[in-house]
């Protein structure tokens, strides 16, 4: 196994309430120091709810946001300066909202040419050939190339977004909620296309989503994020079938499922922790049925549970086999 | 471009401005070719000749110079200076604004504070100071006018650029390896140009006035050169005795500035995307009703029944049949789910019930909505208003967009109550706290004074529900109320709605795209596709054995937790566009079973089994007669 992507103690702190002079009023730890590795050819699913830091993490991975601490290594080479052009050849990003990630005043051809021209210095004739190849790979007709973004449906626009990411010839794609803006009937078209492309081009995916069922359907391994930290990581089937962290269990039980009676899986009044005023100890404590005094004083670290499975919890749920 | 001209021409005043401005510019352009007297030759013997006198159509001034000639040459000069100043101000201002907005942070701070300092001076003082420093002269007046207008452009363009610089396509351009300079030129600038044009079109008139003002004070064009301002200035001493010398340049200034401003407003309206989509035309208080054919009459004593409801959008010469004949009913304590993909017409159906579809372009073209036997479509506005929020209330998808950001949630709840009840504020406030408690907001007494932005998404949606409950309605229409929420919060909100329905006997119409939500909350479900119901029946029946191929295949697409890594089912193709619906079944093109009969005539919604209806010639399940 070759490690495609290695994150070491990567974190991001945002200052809030900047002042002209002096320190900012407060600091928000969007991503707590986290370490992860992704093997080549693997799909790592990253699951979490809004505000858990998954988009901040994604933006750091592609160099759109400089990390506060930590390093990113791609294929063993460190990338420490946040320069999207440098990152662009190695790791690419597929945006959540397919329409707004395409400049409304450019044709699809102009959009597709940009990475070829600026990242690879390709001459015009070679660019045209390459675009034709990529469009064939994502099942888009070539006549679309001379149209403008607003003429496309969400599913088509998302395929154009994927085509642009492929054009950069990066081997790692960060997919940030790539199907959450799409209807279910179209969602599956895009997910299946992604699976085909992965096989065809030997890609590595980081698949970020709030939808557990989607993540399960596409991922080899899953990392669950809560309040900026990884609370559980492991093989997808194991994490979802036997969630060890109470939060993972809550997530899995919250998704509405045909045939399951409606019950609120937790107290109805609970709220997410306030990032400006983070709780002491475990961030999930207030919502957790297993919370003890230890959880209030000491934040749990991500610890190895079994081979390839890690949990950040003082009281992980045990299953009898 | 053609579209732009058409929009512009539709605005009569702007068209008038365009014609007048065109004539003035044409006159200014051909001035050197016209057989005019030399504007600068003095002839004191013939001073102050009246207009229409021999050899001088508009008379002469205090030095006997031909006014018509001076007027045309002066107009030429004033226009040139005005346009030049506008272009300089727009270019420099836009450049400053784009750089400040794009780079943000410290760069932005330094640049914009400098601009603020410029703006702190009264513009004419600043212009005077610049001219005083550079010395009088037309060129210096031009520089002064351009300089004082730069802040206006810089501020305007910066605001727009900040919005664009954070768009995803700019991030995408960065990832494509583009440099900042290239991103500014090829990604940001094309999106800012319309705003620059709008700002220019509305300020050129102002700049011509400012230049004229400086010339009037003797700081602009120097004698004997004529521009409109200096002509006015020279005529000032003869204002009483020979008013025509002032009136001639004054009238020209009026004509030019009026024409430019009318045209500028027209250009702005035609270019502004928000105004283009009809924001200028204020929507009517209730959806327009143009029902052709017989209106269905009420039958039975259903609480709320939709009968053959048709809602269309008329945009230019296109007709979008968003809702093409929908029948639905709900009774007290019942929850009806309406499920469909985007564009299936489910939201428009919901909004049509209370006439909330924006008109124009929305028109209800058929059918009826019976509330306790009374038709709401075409009911007088006062009647609708008394029912809206009182008997029939809505919950919308995005509570942040539906709550007013500047009022506390308590104020908004109090307003909702007092719109229908004669409660004094104190009693209404107590009621508001009670409502917040009933939707299980902790610390309702304190939360009542919170602003919407101080609450989390889940809490805001509770406020949205509390507002819908404010007047103890009989029907709640919930349009994707949990779509914007996280799953853990969604579960809380759904169980809250379920409890409320049981406690209060509410009828709920629940619009969603999520089968899981329907399965957990709804008694009956209607599936919509391309503006029509394709299947309706008890939730369990439909989810266990869907009869319409669309329902069956859509359900197969929904990934469910616990099935491991797999290939997902998809429906090929896209839903039809509702302004070009095919004949027969709208789903036929995507359906694996479609045959010739599916593409002919109108396929009716027919009874299928004991309690279900289906609109299909080849249903997936056999109709179970004895159920």
Query: To the nearest whole angstrom, how far is the Cα of A203 from the nearest Cα of chain B?
Result: 17
SS3 content of chain B, % helix, strand, coil (to 5): 50, 15, 35
Residue B626: predicted pLDDT: 39
Tell me which residues of chain A, numbers 221 to 250, contact chain B at a CB-CB cutoff of 8 Å.
236-237, 240-241, 250
Query: To the nearest whole angstrom, how far is the Cα of B212 from the nearest Cα of chain A?
Result: 39
Contact A214 B559 (CB under 8 A): yes
| Residues 6 or more apart in contact with residue B23 via CB below 8 angstroms | none
Tell me which residues of chain A, numbers 97 to 136, contact chain B at a CB-CB cutoff of 8 Å.
97, 100-106, 111, 114-115, 118-119
The residue among B74, B123, B430, B393 whose CA lies nearest residue B256 is: B74
Contact A186 B568 (CB under 8 A): no
As given in the structure block, the two tokens for residue B373 are 């036997």
Q: CA B307, CA B329: separation in Å to the nearest integer? A: 9
Sketch the domain layout of chain B as residue ranges. 2-28+68-279
Query: Which residue in chain B is spatially nearest to A238 when comparing CA positions?
Result: B564
Residue A203: predicted pLDDT: 94
Q: How distant, in Å, are the alpha carbons of A18, B18, B131, B150, B256 from that of B209?
A: 42, 19, 16, 16, 10
Query: Which residue in chain B is spatially nearest to A243 when comparing CA positions?
Result: B562
Contact status of B446 with chain A (Cβ, < 8 Å): no
Q: CA B452, CA B404: separation in Å to the nearest integer? A: 8
- Which chain A residues contact residue B491 at CB under 8 A? 254, 256, 264-266
- Which chain A residues contact residue B459 at CB under 8 A? 271
Query: Which residue in chain B is spatially nearest to A152 when comparing CA positions?
Result: B574
Query: To the nearest whole angstrom, how far is the Cα of B457 from the nearest Cα of chain A?
Result: 10
Contact A79, A172 (CB under 8 A): no
Contact A195 B567 (CB under 8 A): yes
Contact status of B167 with chain A (Cβ, < 8 Å): yes
Contact A4, A40 (CB under 8 A): yes
Contact status of A289 with chain B (Cβ, < 8 Å): no
**Across the 627 residues of chain B, what is the mean pLDDT of every consecutive 10-residue run?**
75 89 93 86 83 81 88 92 93 95 91 90 86 89 92 93 91 90 93 88 87 88 86 88 90 93 84 58 81 81 91 86 91 93 89 88 90 88 90 87 90 91 90 88 86 84 89 92 82 86 91 89 93 93 91 88 79 83 89 87 87 89 61
Query: To the nearest whole angstrom, how far is the Cα of B602 from the nearest Cα of chain A?
Result: 25
Sign of CA dihedral B537, B541, B547, B551: positive
Query: To the nearest whole angstrom, how far is the Cα of A98 from the nearest Cα of chain B?
Result: 9
| Residues 6 or more apart in contact with residue B364 via CB below 8 angstroms | B287, B288, B289, B290, B291, B309, B310, B311, B352, B355, B357, B377, B378
Residue A141: predicted pLDDT: 87
Q: Where are the beta strands (DSSP E) in B354-463?
A: 362-371, 374-375, 392-395
Residue B627: predicted pLDDT: 44
The alpha-carbon radius of gyration of chain A (Å, integer) is: 21
Measured in whole angstroms, how far is the alpha carbon of residue B581 from the centre of its chain?
27
Contact B569 A259 (CB under 8 A): no
Contact A282, A294 (CB under 8 A): no
Residue with tokens 């924006």: B358
Q: CA A220, CA A37: separation in Å to the nearest integer? A: 13
Bridge partners of A230? A225
Beta strand A303-306 with B288-289 is unpaired
Secondary structure element (H or E) that encloses residue B288, with its range: strand B288-289
Contact A256, B482 (CB under 8 A): no
Contact B368, B308 (CB under 8 A): yes
Specify the length of chain B in residues: 627
| Residues 6 or more apart in contact with residue A18 via CB below 8 angstroms | A24
Query: Which residue in chain A is spatially nearest to B168 when comparing CA positions?
Result: A101
Tell me which residues of chain B, numbers 549 to 578, contact chain A at a CB-CB cutoff of 8 Å.
553-555, 557-572, 574
Contact B548, A290 (CB under 8 A): no
Contact B486 A210 (CB under 8 A): yes
The alpha-carbon radius of gyration of chain B (Å, integer) is: 34
CA dihedral A176, A180, A184, A188 (to 10 degrees): 0
Contact A251 B176 (CB under 8 A): no
Query: To the nearest whole angstrom, how far is the Cα of A247 from the nearest Cα of chain B?
Result: 10
C-beta neighbour count of A185 within 10 angstroms: 23
Contact status of A155 with chain B (Cβ, < 8 Å): yes
Contact A251, A47 (CB under 8 A): yes
- Which chain B residues contact residue A103 at CB under 8 A? 169, 173, 187, 190-191
Query: To the nearest whole angstrom, how far is the Cα of A189 from the nearest Cα of chain B?
Result: 5
The residue among B75, B416, B67 whose CA lies nearest residue B212 is: B75
Tell me which residues of chain A, numbers 11 to 70, contact chain B at a CB-CB cutoff of 8 Å.
20, 49-50, 59, 62-64
Q: Within 13 Å, how many C-alpha atoms sit on residue A153's CB side? A: 19
C-beta neighbour count of B622 within 10 angstroms: 10
Buried b or exposed e, range B69-100, using 16+ CB within 10 angstroms: bbbbbbbbbbbebbebbbebbbebbbbbbbbb
Q: CA A5, CA A69: separation in Å to the nearest integer? A: 17
Contact B253, B228 (CB under 8 A): yes
Q: CA B98, CA B575: separation in Å to the nearest integer? A: 41
Mutate to test the interface with B, among A268, A270, A287, A289 (most CBs of B within 10 A): A268
| Residues 6 or more apart in contact with residue A209 via CB below 8 angstroms | A45, A46, A47, A177, A178, A179, A180, A215
Residue with tokens 């009374």: B374
Instruction: Extract the residue ranges of chain A whose pLDDT is less than 50.
Output: none
Strand order in the sheet with B606-608: B392-395, B475-479, B507-512, B335-339, B524-529, B532-538, B612-614, B606-608
Q: CA A84, CA A103: separation in Å to the nearest integer? A: 18
Q: What is the CATH number of domain A3-90+170-251?
A: 3.40.50.300
Sketch the domain layout of chain A as residue ranges. 3-90+170-251
As given in the structure block, the two tokens for residue B484 are 């914007």
Contact A214 B558 (CB under 8 A): no
Q: CA A223, CA A242: separation in Å to the nearest integer? A: 14
Query: To the nearest whole angstrom, how far is the Cα of A155 from the nearest Cα of chain B?
Result: 9
Q: CA A282, CA A301: separation in Å to the nearest integer? A: 9
Contact B93, B151 (CB under 8 A): yes
DSSP character at residue A114: H
CATH topology of domain B2-28+68-279: MetI-like fold (1.10.3720)
Contact A100 B187 (CB under 8 A): no
Contact B49, B59 (CB under 8 A): yes
Contact A50 B457 (CB under 8 A): yes
Sign of CA dihedral B383, B384, B387, B389: negative
| Residues 6 or more apart in contact with residue A149 via CB below 8 angstroms | A99, A102, A103, A104, A106, A108, A111, A157, A160
As given in the structure block, the two tokens for residue B471 are 């007047």
Q: Is the pTM of this model over 0.90?
A: no
């Amino acid at each position: 196994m070759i490690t495609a992507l290695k994150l070491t103690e990567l974190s991001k702190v945002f200052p809030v309430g900047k002042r002209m002079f002096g320190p900012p009023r407060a600091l928000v730890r969007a991503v707590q120091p986290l370490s992860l590795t992704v093997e080549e050819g693997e799909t790592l699913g990253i699951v979490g709810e809004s505000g858990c830091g998954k988009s901040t993490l994604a933006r750091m991975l592609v160099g759109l946001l400089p990390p506060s601490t930590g390093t990113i290594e791609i294929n063993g080479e460190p990338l420490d300066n946040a320069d999207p052009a440098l990152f662009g050849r190695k790791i690419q990003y597929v945006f959540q909202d397919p329409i707004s990630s395409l400049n409304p005043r450019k044709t699809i051809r102009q959009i597709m040419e940009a990475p070829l021209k600026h990242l690879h210095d390709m001459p015009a004739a070679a660019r045209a050939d390459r675009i034709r190849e990529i469009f064939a790979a994502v099942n888009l007709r070539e006549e679309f190339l001379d149209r403008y973004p607003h003429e496309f449906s969400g599913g088509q626009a998302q395929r154009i977004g994927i085509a642009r990411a492929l054009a950069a010839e990066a081997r790692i794609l960060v997919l940030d909620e790539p199907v959450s803006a799409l209807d279910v009937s179209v969602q599956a078209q895009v997910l299946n296309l992604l699976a085909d492309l992965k096989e065809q081009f030997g890609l590595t995916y980081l698949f970020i989503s709030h939808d557990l069922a989607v993540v399960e359907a596409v991922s080899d391994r899953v990392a669950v994020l809560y309040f900026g930290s990884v609370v559980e990581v492991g093989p997808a089937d194991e994490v979802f079938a036997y969630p060890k962290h109470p939060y993972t269990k809550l997530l899995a039980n919250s998704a509405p499922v045909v045939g399951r009676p409606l019950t609120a899986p937790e107290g109805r009044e609970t709220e997410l922790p306030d990032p400006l005023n983070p709780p002491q100890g475990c961030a999930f404590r207030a919502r957790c049925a297993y919370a003890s005094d230890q959880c209030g004083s000491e934040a749990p670290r991500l610890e190895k549970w079994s081979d390839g499975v890690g949990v950040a919890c003082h009281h992980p749920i045990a299953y009898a086999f | 471009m053609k579209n732009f001209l058409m929009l512009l021409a539709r605005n009569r005043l702007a068209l008038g401005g365009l014609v007048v401005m065109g004539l003035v510019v044409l006159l200014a352009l051909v001035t050197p070719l016209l057989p005019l007297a030399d504007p600068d030759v003095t002839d004191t013997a013939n001073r102050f000749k009246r207009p229409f006198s021999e050899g001088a159509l508009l008379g002469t001034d205090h030095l006997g110079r031909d006014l018509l000639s001076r007027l045309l040459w002066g107009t030429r000069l004033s226009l040139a200076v005005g346009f030049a100043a506008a272009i300089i101000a727009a270019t420099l201002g836009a450049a400053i604004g784009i750089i400040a907005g794009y780079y943000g942070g410290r760069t932005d701070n330094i640049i914009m504070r400098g601009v603020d300092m410029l703006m702190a001076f009264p513009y004419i003082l600043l212009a005077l100071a610049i001219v005083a420093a550079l010395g009088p002269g037309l060129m210096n007046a031009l520089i002064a006018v351009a300089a004082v207008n730069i802040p206006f452009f810089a501020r305007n363009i910066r605001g727009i650029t900040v919005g664009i610089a954070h768009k995803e396509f700019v991030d995408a351009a960065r990832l494509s390896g583009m440099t900042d300079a290239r991103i500014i030129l090829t990604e940001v600038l094309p999106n800012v140009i319309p705003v620059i044009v709008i700002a220019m079109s509305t300020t050129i008139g102002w700049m011509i006035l400012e230049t004229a003002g400086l010339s009037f004070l003797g700081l602009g064009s120097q004698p004997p050169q004529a521009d409109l301002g200096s002509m006015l200035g020279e005529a000032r001493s003869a204002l009483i005795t020979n008013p025509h010398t002032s009136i001639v340049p004054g009238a020209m200034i009026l004509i030019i500035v009026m024409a430019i401003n009318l045209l500028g407003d027209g250009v702005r309206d035609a270019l502004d995307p928000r105004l283009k989509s009809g924001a200028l035309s204020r929507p009517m208080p209730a959806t327009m009703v143009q029902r052709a054919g017989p209106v269905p009459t009420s039958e039975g004593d259903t609480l709320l029944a939709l009968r053959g409801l048709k809602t269309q959008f008329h945009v230019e010469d296109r007709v979008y049949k968003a809702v093409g004949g929908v029948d639905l009913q709900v009774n007290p304590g019942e929850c009806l789910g309406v499920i469909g993909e985007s564009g299936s017409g489910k939201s428009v159906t919901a909004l049509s019930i209370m006439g909330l579809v924006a008109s124009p372009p929305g028109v209800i073209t058929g059918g009826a909505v019976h509330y306790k036997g009374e038709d709401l479509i075409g009911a007088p506005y006062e009647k609708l208003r008394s029912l809206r929020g009182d008997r029939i209330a809505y919950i919308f998808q995005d509570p942040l967009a539906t709550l007013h950001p500047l009022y506390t949630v308590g104020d908004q709840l109090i307003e909702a109550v007092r719109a229908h009840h004669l409660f004094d504020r104190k009693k209404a406030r107590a009621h508001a706290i009670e409502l917040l408690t009933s939707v299980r907001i902790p610390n309702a007494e304190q939360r009542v004074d919170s602003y919407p932005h101080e609450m989390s998404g889940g809490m805001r949606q509770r406020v949205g529900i509390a507002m819908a409950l404010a007047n103890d309605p009989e029907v709640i229409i919930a349009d994707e109320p949990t779509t914007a929420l996280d799953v853990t919060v969604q579960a809380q909100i759904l169980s809250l709605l379920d409890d409320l329905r049981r406690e209060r006997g509410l009828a709920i119409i629940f619009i969603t795209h999520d089968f899981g939500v329907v399965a957990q909350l709804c008694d009956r479900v209607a599936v919509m596709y391309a503006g029509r119901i394709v299947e309706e029946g008890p939730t369990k029946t439909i989810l266990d054995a869907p009869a319409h191929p669309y329902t069956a295949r859509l359900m197969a697409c929904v990934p469910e937790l616990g099935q491991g890594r797999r290939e997902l089912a998809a429906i090929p193709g896209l839903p039809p566009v509702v302004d070009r619906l095919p004949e027969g079944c709208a789903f036929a093109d995507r359906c694996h079973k479609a045959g010739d009969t599916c593409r002919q005539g109108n396929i009716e919604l027919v009874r299928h089994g004991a309690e279900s209806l289906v609109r299909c010639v080849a249903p997936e399940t056999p109709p179970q007669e004895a159920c």
